[in-house]
């Protein structure tokens, strides 16, 4: 038997240590939580993407009484970016979560479905997507989506 060790590298920053571009991306994600439709969970999530052309787009989670018909903020903004800007790569994505009247102390991570969608976009453009996960006490920065999904199923997996 062999063992394989898989490590994920996560940078841990204070908000003020981030460059201006990443700070703006997180601010947009934080603004998006107030646009979330989350009457069932009360867990509001905002996400924003930075496109290769410098544009920032935002999205929020949208719940539905007929679970699982809702959609996470990450997929809302990523699908919007891919639909409206099909030839422009995503450079970075930021996520912030808000519940019980405040932002979370620790960063929240994307669900498995969102991770798979993010990976597809990263693969589609052959361009790493930096991931910024906001918490009031720290921000996690990952250099690409594969850091979130190390044993991933991707386009090359279909080739056998």
Q: Are 59 and 32 in contact (CB under 8 A)?
A: yes
Among candidate residues 7, 52, 74, 122, the one labeled active-site is: 74
Distance CA 97, CA 91 (A): 21
Return the bridge partners of 97, or none: 45
Rounded-to-integer distance, Cα 45 and Cα 121, Å: 20
Band of pLDDT at residue 156, cut at 50, 70 and 90: confident
Average pLDDT of 99-126? 96
Give pLDDT, residue 151.
Answer: 83
Once rounded to an integer, what is the mean pLDDT over residues 100-113? 97
Instruction: Quickly tell me which residue has 């910024």 as its tokens.
Output: 132
Note if 74 is an active site residue. yes
Nearest residue to 34 via CA among 69, 68, 73, 78: 73
Rounded to whole angstroms, the Cα distance separating 57 from 70 reads 20
| Average pLDDT over every residue of 149-154 | 84
Cα 75 to Cα 131: distance, rounded to the nearest angstrom? 14
Mean pLDDT over the full length of the chain: 95
DSSP state of 69: -
Confidence of residue 154 (pLDDT cuts 50, 70, 90): confident
Compare 151 and 84 and report the one with higher pLDDT: 84
pLDDT tens for 1-35 read 999 999 999 999 999 999 999 999 999 999 999 99
Residue 43, number of CB atoms within 10 A of its CB? 16
Q: Give the chain's length.
A: 160
Distances (CA, A) of 75 to 14, 80, 148, 160: 26, 8, 15, 28
Q: What is the pTM of this model?
A: 0.94
Domains in the chain: boundaries: 25-31+44-55+72-148
Higher pLDDT, 65 or 67: 65
pLDDT confidence bin for 67, thresholds 50/70/90: confident
Gap between the Cα atoms of 121 and 90, Å rounded: 8
Q: What is the pLDDT confidence band of residue 160, given thresholds at 50, 70 and 90?
A: low
Return the CATH fold of 25-31+44-55+72-148. Cytidine Deaminase; domain 2 (3.40.140)
């Amino acid at each position: 038997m062999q063992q394989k060790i898989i490590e994920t590298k996560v940078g841990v920053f204070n908000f003020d240590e981030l460059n201006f571009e990443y700070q703006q991306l997180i601010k947009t994600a934080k603004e998006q939580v107030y646009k979330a439709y989350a009457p069932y969970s009360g867990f509001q999530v905002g996400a924003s993407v930075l496109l290769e052309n410098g544009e920032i787009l935002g999205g929020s989670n949208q719940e539905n009484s007929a679970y699982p018909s809702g959609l996470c903020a990450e997929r809302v903004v990523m699908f919007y970016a891919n639909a409206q800007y099909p030839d422009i790569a995503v450079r970075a994505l930021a996520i912030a979560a808000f519940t019980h009247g405040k932002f979370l102390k620790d960063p929240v991570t994307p669900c498995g479905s969102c991770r798979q969608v993010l990976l597809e976009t990263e693969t589609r453009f052959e361009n790493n997507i930096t991931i910024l996960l906001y918490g009031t006490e720290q921000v996690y920065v990952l250099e690409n989506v594969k850091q979130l999904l190390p044993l991933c199923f991707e386009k090359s997996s279909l080739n056998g």
